[in-house]
A and B are shown apart, each in its own frame.
Chain A
Amino acid sequence: MRVALFVTCVNDAVYPSTGIAVVKLLERLGVEVDFPPGQTCCGQPQFNTGYRRETEPLVRRMGRVFEGYDHVVTPSGSCAAMVRDNYPRIAHKGSDPQLQQVADTLVPRMYELTEFLVDVLGVTDVGAYFPHTVTYHPSCHGLRMLGLGERPRKLLEAVKGLELRDLPGAEECCGFGGTFAMKNSDVSAAMGEDKVRNAASTGAEVLCGADNSCLMHLDGLLHRQGAPQRALHLAEILASTEEEPLG
């Protein structure tokens, strides 16, 4: 089984710890992971802001870079959904047959991390250890576009020492939304403030998510407010073990 990590541009530049966690987690589960260095960005920021044509070269690049791997795994529901839902649309609208080929071949091999763990590897207990209280925010693209359902919750529930607390209004958007966070910053911040208020009401030490872009927005709010809670990617919790606990 040849597995490639699509780390995503945000994780590469800002949250390398998430990418490292995915590598360690998958290796611990016996998966040989490769990181094709030609990868950059799936093109979601461009596409969702209305720059479809500017996205096309990135679609072709994604196709080239991940050619030949059985599975492509990414620790981002949003980027996985971009490939799965929007690459076929970009191919349909564009005139380049290569785009269609990428859509046809890459889409079925693209997995969000929790999908890969639960559906492909068939595990929910990954042998993790994380003795903290955690509340989980299911990001919209994972929740509604990918339909991740109970996968993240099952993985968290199996973590030794972890106490999972229900997040009120969990299914409501955090307000990040890519360039929405800039273009409609007042509404975005208002949504985020409600989300972190709900997260704080759980009393959990950690606000966990499976999308660092949402967490960047929420952590930015928490940090600004001086809140004790910290935001953490699911992969980092799953990578944490008794032998090598998360610092």
Chain B
Amino acid sequence: MSGTYLGMPSFPVAAREAVNNPTLRANLRHATHTIRAKRAVAVAELADWALLREAGKQIKDRTLRHLDTLLVELEEKVTAAGGVVHWAADAEEANRIVTELVVETGEREVVKVKSMATQEIGLNEALEAAGIAAYETDLAELIVQLGEDRPSHILVPAIHRNRGEIRDIFATTMGEWGRPAPDDLTDSPAALAEAARLHLREKFLRAKVGISGANFMVAETGTLVVLESEGNGRMCLTLPETLISVVGIEKVIPSWRDLEVFLQTLPRSSTAERMNPYTSTWTGTTDSDGPKAFHLVLLDNGRTATLADEVGRQALRCIRCSACLNVCPVYERAGGHAYGSVYPGPIGAILSPQLRGTQSDIDASLPYASSLCGACYEVCPVAIDIPEVLVHLREQVAEKGGKGHRLEKTAMKAAGWILNHPAALTAGERIASKTRALHPKTVPGASAWTDSRDLPALPEQPFRDWWKKNRT
């Protein structure tokens, strides 16, 4: 994954800052609670939701089991339809391929549809290094780009910003990138959308190269699918002469028919709509309609390593709907930036450490960034058991015995011994109870608990003693 996040502090450290930022807390609370309620309504409309969820899960599992054959089939169909398929093992290779393709066109600027894969590989930075300007055209991505910020949500990368902050960013920075915002710009969402429309239109109309990701790639037909709302996707996919799509290998699905499942579950899970305003599907190139050249870059970048993990591979079912973020109580308070990855929230906590490994502080801390409440699993439209994978990854982190885990392991082993020797446990409980008057209200070293919470008073006697006296 991209180096943008190298040197990020661990999750608890980064989260502390967010927890103590009242504006951010209020922005996140407002946005996530709004969408949470709407999603529940949209999902409740479909009596067969559980069956659609199960079908989506099974389609993805079958895809992953036969990923090699499906990718070869996809390549064949895309090529037959006039596209060119490239394979990229990692971020560096993908960035090199895309940069070379853009350089070959002779263009110095590209327009981009929002794409998680290109964010993951840090494509914009790579293009910039080659002297190519990449313009993000999704409204939220534009807010992030103009604000020199980082995305904090999969669907709504600027979720951490409220309308007033967005107004200020537009008013001060749009002029540096192109058409400035109107002088009388207000913070009404309609006025902000209008400003983005005017600012970006000049870029769309002159763009010669578009870069996108894809939500799905249909192996049997070679069709790529992009779901969006604003029309910026359609602009980027149809107006330029060259289209380059960078897509993770797990985005393939076997058949055209499979879309009937995901086109029902994805919009309802992400924006809580029956259907998003625009969906584009294209197969290679079409004479006189749309780009003359189409390149598909198939990206691995840690996906095959994830695929090799029996428990962890279910993370590759993800269709990037972000329902798990919106429902997550930890995300709501910690914010997306604390996850140190373009993939924040519960899915990020299992995806990032698998795609990147758990060597860094941030990646080793992500599997613990959850209370295991299970709300994410409940809403996931492809039934990824995120808590199961989190615990599985904790085991991998603990096994490695990194920072803090060696001591913890010793403590766990000691506790394990006591718990396997009830006599020792009973003795310990009795001593604790007998000396309970001596226990301070705060315990040294336990400040993580006692900074905000009192410890319970210990009882006169443990339950087992009561039982012994009263029932035996």
Most buried by A among B12, B397, B409, B413: B12
Other-chain residue from B369, B397, B416, B464 in contact with A37 (beta carbon distance below 8 A): B464
> Do A191 and B333 form a contact, CB below 8 Å, given A16-B462, A35-B464?
yes
Q: Is the CB of B429 within 8 A of A175?
A: no
> Do A184 and B459 form a contact, CB below 8 Å, given A47-B391, A54-B416, A172-B329?
no
Smallest Cβ distance from B15 to chain A, in angstroms? Answer: 5
Q: How far is the CA of A180 from the CA of B374 in the complex (A)?
A: 14
Which of the segments A17-25, A199-207, A238-246 contacts the partner chain?
A: A17-25
A185 within 8 A of B: yes
Q: Is the CB of A180 within 8 A of B370?
A: yes
Q: Is the CB of A48 within 8 A of B391?
A: yes
Smallest Cβ distance from A165 to chain B, in angstroms? Answer: 21
Other-chain residue from A14, A23, A175, A191 in contact with B456 (beta carbon distance below 8 A): A14
B386-401 vs A, Cβ < 8 Å mask (1 yes, 0 no): 0010010111111100
Other-chain residue from B330, B429, B452, B471 in contact with A13 (beta carbon distance below 8 A): B429
B288 within 8 A of A: no
A31 within 8 A of B: no
B428, closest chain A residue (CB): A13
Q: How far is the CA of A13 from the CA of B430 in the complex (A)?
A: 9
Q: How large is the interface on B (under 10, 10 to 19, 20 to 34, 35 or more residues)?
A: 35 or more
Smallest Cβ distance from A19 to chain B, in angstroms? Answer: 4
Complex interface residues of chain A between 31 and 84 (CB less than 8 A to chain B): 35, 37-41, 43, 45-52, 54-55, 57-58, 61
A residues near B15, Cβ cutoff 8 Å: 184, 186-187
B455 within 8 A of A: yes
> Do A58 and B463 form a contact, CB below 8 Å, given A173-B371, A186-B15?
no
Smallest Cβ distance from B334 to chain A, in angstroms? Answer: 5
Q: Is the CB of A185 within 8 A of B12?
A: yes
Complex interface residues of chain A between 218 and 243 (CB less than 8 A to chain B): 219-221, 223-224
Q: Is the CB of A17 within 8 A of B459?
A: yes
Smallest Cβ distance from A43 to chain B, in angstroms? Answer: 8
A49, closest chain B residue (CB): B394
Q: How far is the CA of A11 from the CA of B456 in the complex (A)?
A: 12
Q: Is the CB of B422 within 8 A of A192?
A: no
Q: Is the CB of A58 within 8 A of B459?
A: no
Q: Is the CB of A11 within 8 A of B12?
A: no
Most buried by B among A35, A48, A50, A221: A50
Q: Is the CB of B372 within 8 A of A178?
A: yes
Complex interface residues of chain B between 449 and 464 (CB less than 8 A to chain A): 449, 451-456, 458-459, 461-464
Q: Is the CB of B452 within 8 A of A191?
A: no
A41, closest chain B residue (CB): B419
Q: Is the CB of B419 within 8 A of A9?
A: yes
A residues near B216, Cβ cutoff 8 Å: none
Q: How far is the CA of A177 from the CA of B456 in the complex (A)?
A: 17
B97 within 8 A of A: no
B415 within 8 A of A: yes
Q: How far is the CA of A37 from the CA of B20 in the complex (A)?
A: 46
A158 within 8 A of B: no
B431-472 vs A, Cβ < 8 Å mask (1 yes, 0 no): 010000000000000101101111110110111111110010
Q: Is the CB of A177 within 8 A of B373?
A: yes
B407 within 8 A of A: no
B331, closest chain A residue (CB): A187
B residues near A52, Cβ cutoff 8 Å: 395
B455, closest chain A residue (CB): A220
Q: Is the CB of B408 within 8 A of A49?
A: yes
Q: How far is the CA of A54 from the CA of B464 in the complex (A)?
A: 24
A residues near B25, Cβ cutoff 8 Å: 190
Q: Is the CB of B432 within 8 A of A183?
A: no
Smallest Cβ distance from A232 to chain B, in angstroms? Answer: 13
Q: Is the CB of B375 within 8 A of A173?
A: yes
Q: Is the CB of A140 within 8 A of B466?
A: no
B residues near A45, Cβ cutoff 8 Å: 415
Q: Is the CB of A35 within 8 A of B467?
A: yes
Q: Is the CB of B369 within 8 A of A20?
A: no
Q: How far is the CA of A223 from the CA of B372 in the complex (A)?
A: 25
Q: Is the CB of B12 within 8 A of A57?
A: no
> Do A16 and B463 form a contact, CB below 8 Å, given A50-B395, A182-B449, A191-B333?
yes
> Do A54 and B412 form a contact, CB below 8 Å, given A173-B375, A183-B368, A186-B16?
yes
> Do A176 and B395 form a contact, CB below 8 Å, given A12-B463, A14-B459, A191-B333?
no
B14-42 vs A, Cβ < 8 Å mask (1 yes, 0 no): 01100110000100000000000000000
Q: How far is the CA of A141 from the CA of B391 in the complex (A)?
A: 15
A144 within 8 A of B: yes
A residues near B54, Cβ cutoff 8 Å: none
Q: How far is the CA of A23 from the CA of B399 in the complex (A)?
A: 40
Other-chain residue from B372, B388, B419, B448 in contact with A89 (beta carbon distance below 8 A): B388
Smallest Cβ distance from A76 to chain B, in angstroms? Answer: 13
Q: How far is the CA of A113 from the CA of B105 in the complex (A)?
A: 69
B425 within 8 A of A: yes
Smallest Cβ distance from B43 to chain A, in angstroms? Answer: 15
Q: Is the CB of B395 within 8 A of A140?
A: no
A7 within 8 A of B: yes
B377 within 8 A of A: yes
Smallest Cβ distance from B74 to chain A, in angstroms? Answer: 33
Q: Is the CB of B11 within 8 A of A58?
A: no
> Do A181 and B395 form a contact, CB below 8 Å, given A41-B419, A49-B408?
no
Smallest Cβ distance from A172 to chain B, in angstroms? Answer: 5
Q: Is the CB of A61 within 8 A of B453?
A: no
A176, closest chain B residue (CB): B371
B328, closest chain A residue (CB): A173
Counting from the closest, the 7 A-B pairs by CB-CB distance are A177-B371, A220-B453, A50-B394, A50-B398, A173-B373, A16-B463, A189-B452
Task: Add 6 more A-B contacts to A50-B393, A173-B371 (CB < 8 A).
Answer: A37-B468, A48-B391, A51-B395, A187-B19, A187-B330, A224-B454
Chain A positions near chain B (C-beta within 8 angstroms) = 7, 9, 11-17, 19-20, 23, 35, 37-41, 43, 45-52, 54-55, 57-58, 61, 86, 89, 140-141, 144-145, 171-173, 175-193, 216-217, 219-221, 223-224
Instruction: Report 22 cross-chain contacts, Cβ distance below 8 Å, ordered by A residue.
Output: A7-B464, A9-B425, A13-B432, A16-B462, A19-B466, A19-B467, A41-B419, A45-B415, A51-B412, A54-B412, A144-B373, A144-B375, A145-B374, A173-B371, A173-B373, A180-B368, A180-B370, A183-B368, A187-B19, A191-B333, A193-B452, A220-B456
